[in-house]
Amino acid sequence: MAKKISRRGFLKGAGGTVAGAAVAGMAVGAGVTALPPRAQAAGAVMNKKAELPKAMGARVVVVGGGWSGLTLSKYLKKEDSKLDVVLIEPRATFMSCPISNLWLAGLVDYEFITHSFLDAARNNDYTFFNATVIDVDRGARKVFTEQGFVDYDYLVLAPGIDYDYGAIGVSDPEDVYMLSTHYPAAFKPGSEHLSLKQKIHEFEGGAFVLTVPSGNYRCLPAPYERACMVAAIFKKERIKGKVLLLDANPDVTIKGPGFHAAFEELYKDHLEYVPSVTITGVDVHKKKVTSEFDEFDFDDAAIYPRVRAAKLIETLGLVDPNSPQKEAHIDPFKYNVVGDERVYVTGDSRPMPFSKSGNTARSEGKFVAKLIAARAKGHDVEWESPRTICYSVVNIDPMEAIMVDATYAYDGESFGFTNVKMINDRDSIQAQSTLEWARSHYRDMFS
């Protein structure tokens, strides 16, 4: 069993925090070291202007090249070609979360879900800056990255989500590290997905635990779709394994009849659905999930904890004090930070109860682009509802899907679904529409 260390001890020993403390001018003392010259020089780079093309108009800096940020960057230029748009994103390659469950099951290849930020920027006439945002000075309107700062007239923060392992009883940094490394959620694109695919295809049998978190988590149907895809692989490859789907919610959160039909009719021997499981801990070493009432042993797992807004929102002091998921404090109709019409937050970091999904982020991104372009000219525009369209593939042979399509209405107190179209009877027409839906979004973002 790995030695436990306290959170305080971990923070004292963590290199990043030491550097942060020194940059912040904290006293050098026990557990904190003076920065060597090259590290100091790296810190000083942040005070220099980033080496980017000169701004040719009012500059809008977009932080985060996901579904939200890519859409905003393109549509800001479409709304007003004179705007100078810079997209800041630390990843070098775009990988799509939507359709990744199909890729796990071998229904599409890796090229289908990966795309080039360079193509997106070049084809849509904005600047791609491959860097990480570390801080923002809203008074001076500067965004700081490890490669220098960028001045802005308007700033959009679209950094997505982070995981909140504390909500499932895993708070010690060492335990969080072990859990996120050994049993990654795979709800943020990249290495987590690659690990998961390998785990599934190399699985030798037994219980493969997948979990559905509480709260407004990223993509309501995706954990159920994934459970179907993993069960389908076990069935097809005759692996003596079973998906144990532990749901924090009392029932499937969306498209319930469609998913239940798939669980019961297609995967009876390969999938067990367990609702109302409030996870209170995960023992990585004993391979055991503990809940309020039960314990579940597993042979392998992908543990999806509750989600929160990306940590950048908290770092910048923009968290809504009433948001349990640490989402941003913004005007729910205009997306600007309360009291600051120069800074906006979109995508999965928003606090409104919209589905945290790509289609939602894209339709919203088009609206916010229109809003910023109008405001830059001294006008305003009326609120438009985002639109959520979500297909879920539940069968691989033949490929069949279910779907939901909805917008949102405000009743004076909160937002709720309206104009809902739901197809729970799986069929191959919806499966073809799933692929066409994805192709059209990729086409729009990258060409």
Ligand X SMILES: Cc1cc2nc3c(=O)[nH]c(=O)nc-3n(C[C@H](O)[C@H](O)[C@H](O)COP(=O)(O)OP(=O)(O)OC[C@H]3O[C@@H](n4cnc5c(N)ncnc54)[C@H](O)[C@@H]3O)c2cc1C
CB closer to ligand X out of 100 and 325: 100
Question: Least distance (Å) from ligand X to the CB of residue 98?
Answer: 3
Question: Least distance (Å) from ligand X to the CB of residue 257?
Answer: 18
SS3 state of residue 163: strand
Binding site for ligand X (CB under 6 A): 63-69, 88-91, 97-98, 100-101, 132-133, 158-160, 187, 218-219, 222, 310, 312, 347-348, 356-359, 361, 390-391
CB closer to ligand X out of 259 and 391: 391
Picking from 234, 221, 209, the residue whose alpha carbon sits closest to that of residue 294 is: 209
Q: Is the dihedral of CA 162, 166, 171, 177 positive or negative?
A: negative
DSSP β-bridge partners for residue 79:
none
What tokens appear for 305 in the block?
A: 């904890």
Question: Least distance (Å) from ligand X to the CB of residue 352?
Answer: 13
CB closer to ligand X out of 247 and 287: 247
Phi, psi angle pair for 311, to nearest 5°? -55, -25
Instruction: Report d(CA 184, CA 235) in Å as an integer.
Output: 23
Instruction: Report d(CA 367, CA 347) in Å as an integer.
Output: 12
For the chain, how many residues are written?
A: 447
When CB distances to ligand X are compared, the closest residue is 66
CB closer to ligand X out of 112 and 283: 112
Question: Least distance (Å) from ligand X to the CB of residue 58?
Answer: 21
Instruction: Report d(CA 312, CA 141) in Å as an integer.
Output: 17
Question: Least distance (Å) from ligand X to the CB of residue 227?
Answer: 11
CB closer to ligand X out of 232 and 291: 232
Q: Is the dihedral of CA 41, 45, 48, 52 positive or negative?
A: positive
Question: Least distance (Å) from ligand X to the CB of residue 174?
Answer: 23
Cis status of the peptide bond prior to 398, with omega within 30 of 0: yes
Instruction: Report d(CA 316, CA 9) in Å as an integer.
Output: 25
Question: Least distance (Å) from ligand X to the CB of residue 399?
Answer: 14
CB closer to ligand X out of 221 and 241: 221
Question: Least distance (Å) from ligand X to the CB of residue 45?
Answer: 16
* 323, 315 contact by CB (below 8 A): no
DSSP β-bridge partners for residue 289:
282, 296
* 362, 73 contact by CB (below 8 A): no
Cα distances (Å, whole numbers) of residue 164 to 51, 138, 304, 329: 35, 27, 9, 19
Question: Least distance (Å) from ligand X to the CB of residue 132?
Answer: 5
CB closer to ligand X out of 280 and 424: 424
Widest distance between CA atoms in the chain? 65
Q: How many other C-beta atoms can be found within 10 angstroms of the C-beta atom of residue 225?
A: 26
CB closer to ligand X out of 132 and 290: 132
CB closer to ligand X out of 132 and 323: 132
Question: Least distance (Å) from ligand X to the CB of residue 101?
Answer: 5
CB closer to ligand X out of 108 and 287: 108
Instruction: Report d(CA 445, CA 73) in Å as an integer.
Output: 9
Helices 117-124, 428-446: axis angle to 10 degrees equals 60
Question: Least distance (Å) from ligand X to the CB of residue 31?
Answer: 26
What tokens appear for 400 in the block?
A: 């069949």
CB closer to ligand X out of 160 and 305: 160
Instruction: Report d(CA 312, CA 10) in Å as an integer.
Output: 21
